[in-house]
């Protein structure tokens, strides 16, 4: 049966985004590389939105911040203290644009899905604005991580080549 109107996309370059997160490395986050890690699932330069998996070790504390756009959080494992409540595995929270709250603490090793429609602004009462996280910052972090990985991969290869005994030329008789 024919449809009453054309529904084919006008933009022939539309594509799905598939990320096999189980095959992706956890990237340490610069502000606490021992206890906070991220896997980027999607960034939308056209909208400013982004989706990540976050892994926080027990005791990690994300500083107080303001959501400059709405966000969705789904706890996969562990426990987070958010404002006056505790989020457990299976819990979901929607935070509207403009949501302001204090520190968020990992009460256990925790992994969660975080989808944001825009940037998150981190601040300190004494210092004021300290940093922000957006799709652009995530891509910068990813590029820096990949560059370090390439440098790490080259270093062992150079060391191995330097340690290799050189072949001796045969003396001619």
pLDDT per residue rounded down to tens, the chain (173 residues): 788 888 887 887 777 888 999 999 999 998 899 999 999 999 999 999 999 999 999 999 998 899 999 999 999 999 999 988 999 999 999 999 998 888 899 999 999 999 999 999 998 888 888 899 999 999 999 999 999 887 766 665 555 555 555 555 455 44
What pLDDT shows up at residue 74? 98
CA distance 105 to 120: 16
Query: What is the reported pTM?
Result: 0.81
What pLDDT shows up at residue 154? 66
CA distance 64 to 87: 17
- Phi and psi angles of residue 78, each rounded to the nearest 5 degrees, phi first: 90, -160
136-to-79, 85, 92, 123 alpha-carbon distances in Å:
28, 30, 25, 19
CATH numbers and ranges of domains, the chain = 23-142 (2.60.120.10)
CA distance 102 to 95: 13
* Residue 124, helix vs strand vs coil: strand
Instruction: Decide: 109 and 78 in contact? Cβ < 8 Å.
Output: yes
What pLDDT shows up at residue 117? 97
């Amino acid at each position: 049966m024919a449809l009453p109107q054309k529904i084919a996309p006008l933009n022939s370059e539309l594509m799905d985004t598939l990320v096999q997160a189980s095959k992706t490395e956890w990237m340490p986050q610069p502000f606490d590389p021992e206890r906070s890690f991220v896997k980027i699932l999607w960034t939308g330069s056209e909208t400013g939105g982004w989706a990540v998996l976050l892994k926080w070790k027990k005791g990690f504390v994300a500083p107080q911040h303001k959501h400059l756009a709405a966000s969705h959080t789904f706890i996969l494992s562990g426990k987070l203290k958010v404002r006056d409540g505790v989020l457990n595995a299976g819990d979901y929270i929607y935070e509207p644009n403009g949501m302001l709250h204090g520190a968020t603490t990992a009460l256990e090793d925790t992994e969660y899905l975080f989808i944001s429609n825009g940037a998150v602004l981190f601040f300190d009462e004494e210092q004021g604005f300290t940093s922000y996280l957006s799709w652009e910052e995530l891509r910068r972090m990813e590029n820096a991580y990949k560059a370090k990985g390439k440098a790490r991969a080259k270093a062992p290869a150079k060391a191995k080549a330097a340690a290799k005994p050189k072949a001796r030329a045969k003396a001619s008789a």
